[in-house]
Structure 1
Amino acid sequence: MQTTPLNPEDPLALGDFELLGRIGQGGMGQVFLGESLGGEPAAVKVIKPSVVDSESRQRFAQEIEVLKTIWGPRIAAFLGADAEAEQPWLATEYVDGPDLARHVKTHGPLPPVLTAALGAILAEALSAVHTQGLLHRDLKPANVLLGPNGPKIIDFGLAAFTESSVSLTAPHQVVGTPICMAPEQAAGVKPLTAAVDVYALGAMLLFAATGHYPHEAATPYMVFHLVTDPDTAPDLSGTPGELVPLLTGMLAQNAGDRPSLTAVVQQCRSVIEAQGMKIAQARRKLTAHTAHTAHTAGQQRTSPSADVSPTVPWPAPASDTPGTEITPADLDMPVPSDAPDPSRSPVPSDAPVPSDAPDPSDTPAPTPTLVEPPGPPVQESPGPVPPARRDPSDDGSRREQPAPGLPPAPSRQPREKTHTLRHSVQAHRTAERLRAAYAAKAPF
């Protein structure tokens, strides 16, 4: 998820959460990237000072109470809140990934099998919410985040108890997003039932599969008219054939004609299994697909020096993960006090170069003498240094060592210069440990 620096007027902390950057904003407030005292990342929602009044505080307090009562692996977890603060705030789990709307806009619609996997995941999550006596009432692509561990539902600001007809809005006032709103919700019918979330999920799956909604028009008022008109059928153009029966039922005009969420899960499973795939495989493919595209987009918009800013997103980019050529024991070994500066000492020319190390052909530098670490003396081998040969007893987690009696290895050909070097603190620390480990293992 993209984060921008704080503005001068933004608070630096709310409650026990330090604010690190801006994630996004809406009509009611701003969302910040925060961090707890223990280092837990959080999405911190704050009501704008211009709209803080008794009604907005009451609605915000209702959202807090709702989040306290629901849980699940596909619901962004509640972390803390204060509806009575001068700037009311709410902290939830930070999901590092784009929302569904941004993903489809950037990368195009999802394949049918992945759309069905998304439908099964979200229908099961909504079913758990309904079991707890709640409705979401504002399910839309912007409220589904595609994180590294799969999709998660956010923003229960309009959630309501299914058995209650009490509302914070005026008798004929409708609050929500019309493009995903069920006809009865758009018409102001109360109380609402679980069918409103079934319709909204169907509208969202239609968008995921085609890039458009059931009803689209130039203004929200025109969309309301199309949604509530019984003679205007939803636009299913472009829908893959295997998804048409599912979406036709979910987008039915009458609430009683829509399937239950359990039936939605079963129909999504049928679509997946008809392609010779199991539901668990489809779920993994969905997460891998969205995580890969999100990571690729993140690499394209991240500059080499972006990670030195105090407002960088959490967690660190996946490209900063250290390699596994050296075992954990090697990386934890102390650096000898008389060893040369790791930032200037190159890896020996006959050793494989880690993927994040600079190419020696790109940056020429003097070659300092590597200091032999304490230990028994190593017998010097006469003649040229032979190429690497794997030890049969090696478990594959360590670097290959030179083997005696073989001709010298050919020199590595210089490669074309690139500009993909990483400059994060973790990358420098990993490189330093790698070089120290190579120096300790060197047979000279």
Structure 2
Amino acid sequence: MHIAPLSPHDPAQLGGYELLGRIGHGGMGQVYLGESPGGEPAAVKVIKPAVVDSETRQRFAQEVEILKTIWGARIAALLDADAEAEPPWLATEYIEGLDLSRHVARHGPLPSLLAASLGATLAEALATVHKQGLLHRDLKPANVLLGPNGPKIIDFGLAVFAESSVSLTAPNTVVGTPSCMPPEQARGDRPLTSAVDVYALGAVVLYAASGHLPYQAANIHVLFHQVTDPETAPDLSGAPGELVPLLTAMLAHKAEDRPALSDIVQQCRAVIEAQGCKVAQARRRLTTHTAAPSHMLDGLPPTVVTPPPPTAFVDLPDPGRATTVVLPSTTPEPVPTLVDRPTPPSGSLIAKTPADPTSPGAATAADGPSASLPVPSGPSRASSRQRRHSPQSRITAQRLREVYAANAAF
């Protein structure tokens, strides 16, 4: 997980969570690494004040309600939220590790054994989501986090109840990530079925095994044409031969031709067992292969910590708990494009359907450069730092602030 220092305009706390750094951003909001008063880490998502309107707030409230409903071992759990706050925010379980997009971009595709294990794990997770009457609708490599206990699915901001034809989007628009989107979703069909998540899972497994998505194009209208054209087959080049039949079925143009999630699990098991490995063993190998290093703090500049008075009692850092912090690169982050690349896609696209390719603003990126957030009324930054936290978190926060100060232009 890439953690960038807070800017001077970022809030010091949200909803009682002290903010320690930035871990993601998009056109709609910012995601921070936060810590509860009891020391629980959290991913705190906040909607930017510039985009808060009635529709955005309604969609955010829908995401909160869905996260309250959903559960599962492979789903990032909701910790707390306030959709009526200024600005609206929610806190979910913090998963320490890279997302699948960043991992593949940094370390290359997964071997077929591990890609099959990932497919089986995520298929079971999606089956749990579907049993609760929900669809994810925006599964993609950036929404799969590779944590120390295995992969987990995040970002249910576009999730809907499976039988609902109600949408918060305007007519003739589609919301999602086109390169991971099935044809029926790209066409704006209603209602959608569980087959949309099967297709997206096929795109994720293909990316994990080959390093690319099923369709790629520099022009959004060309991309939509590729996705919706039944004569244009997905690009399966680079995928291991043993996974090609399964990927072909998962990425079928017609929703009714795609396999059920239970069948996907069984076919992934067959690929794993054909290589002389048990499913549980493959899961452990996947976690070991993708787990983030536990020594990233060693590269941070030293920080002088003033010792407490002799009479004070303090909690000593737990030597068994490793905290991973990735220093920000000295080169600027690449600007997100409308089409997913091997570099991490930062979010979804809100685009006009191909039926109106000539209309202005036919496609806009839902995720873009981050915007500064005003410091909300309430406890000041100085007073929030006086709250009692673990020494390790204070050291991490102080080092991040020093890195920011050293690189600041002022």
Q: Give TM-score, length-normalised by structure 2.
A: 0.74
Map of 1:100 onto structure 2: 100
Count residues with an aligned counterpart.
Answer: 316
Question: Aligned-pair distance for 1:101?
Answer: 0.1
SS of alignment partner, residue 175 of structure 1: strand
Structure 2 contact 297–323 (Cα < 8 Å) conserved: no
Structure 1 partner of 2:296: 299
Partner of 1:246: 246
Take 1:318 and 1:302, find their aligned partners in 2: how far apart are those partners?
17
Contact 2:250 2:258 in 1 (8 A): yes
Q: Which residue of 1 aligns with 2:231?
A: 231
Secondary structure of the residue aligned to 2:44 is strand
- Name the CA distance, whole Å, in 2 between partners of 1:243 and 1:316: 42
Tell me the alpha carbon deviations over residues 225-262 of structure 1, each in whole angstroms, 9 at most, x when there is no partner. 10001110000111111001110000000000000001
CA RMSD after TM alignment: 2.2
The amino acid of 1:302's aligned partner reads: G
State how far apart, in whole Å, the 1-side matches of 2:229 and 2:320 are: 48
Deviates more, 1:261-270 or 1:214-223: 214-223
> What 5-or-longer segments of structure 1 have no aligned partner?
309-313, 322-423, 427-444
Confirm or deny: 8 A CA contact 1:186 1:228 kept in the other structure: yes
Q: What amino acid maps onto 2:242 in structure 1?
A: E
Query: Which residue does the alignment assign to 1:33?
Result: 33
Change (3 A) 1:215 1:300: farther
**8 Å Cα contact 2:97-2:145 kept in structure 1:** yes
The corresponding residue for 2:170 is 170
Task: Report the residue type matching 2:208 in the other structure.
Answer: A
Farther off after superposition, 144-153 or 1-10: 1-10
What is the CA distance between 1:219 and its match in structure 2? 2.4
Opposite residue 76 of structure 2, the aligned amino acid is A
Residue 256 (str. 1) matches residue 253 (str. 2): no
For residues 31-430 of structure 1, the aligned pairs below 5 Å read 31-291=31-291, 294-295=292-293, 299=296, 302-305=299-302
% identity of equivalent residues: 71
Distance 1:31 1:106, change over 3 A: same
Map Cα deviations across residues 49-103 of structure 1 (whole Å, 9 max, x no partner). 1111001000000000000000111000000111111100010000000000000
- 3-state secondary structure, aligned to 1:226: helix
Distance in 1 between the 2:50 and 2:139 partners? 26
Q: Contact 2:46 / 2:87 at 8 angstroms: preserved in 1?
A: yes
User: Structure 1: how far apart are the matches of 2:301 and 2:206?
Assistant: 38
Shift of 1:220: 2.5
Larger radius of gyration: 1
Distance of 2:219 and 2:297 partners within structure 1: 34
Q: 1:303 to 1:240 in 2, by over 3 A?
A: same
Deviations 1:133-154 (A, max 9, x none): 0000000000000000100000
1:221 deviation in Å?
2.4
Tell me, yes or no, if the aligned pair for 1:185 and 1:192 is still in contact at 8 Å: yes
Relative distance call for 1:320 and 1:140 in structure 2 (3 A) is closer
How big is each residue's C-alpha offset from its partner over 1:264-302, in whole Å with a ceiling of 9 and x where there is no partner?
0000000000001100000000000001xx317x63993
Bigger relative contact order, structure 1 or 2, given CA contacts below 8 A and separation 6+? 2
Unaligned runs of 5+ residues in structure 2 are 306-316, 325-389, 393-410
Tell me the SS of whatever aligns to 1:295.
coil
Q: Report the TM-score when normalising by structure 1.
A: 0.68
CA apart distance, 1:2: 2.2
Distance in 1, matches of 2:321 and 2:102, equals 20
What displacement does 1:319 show? 6.6
Does the residue aligned with 2:127 lie in a helix, a strand or coil?
helix
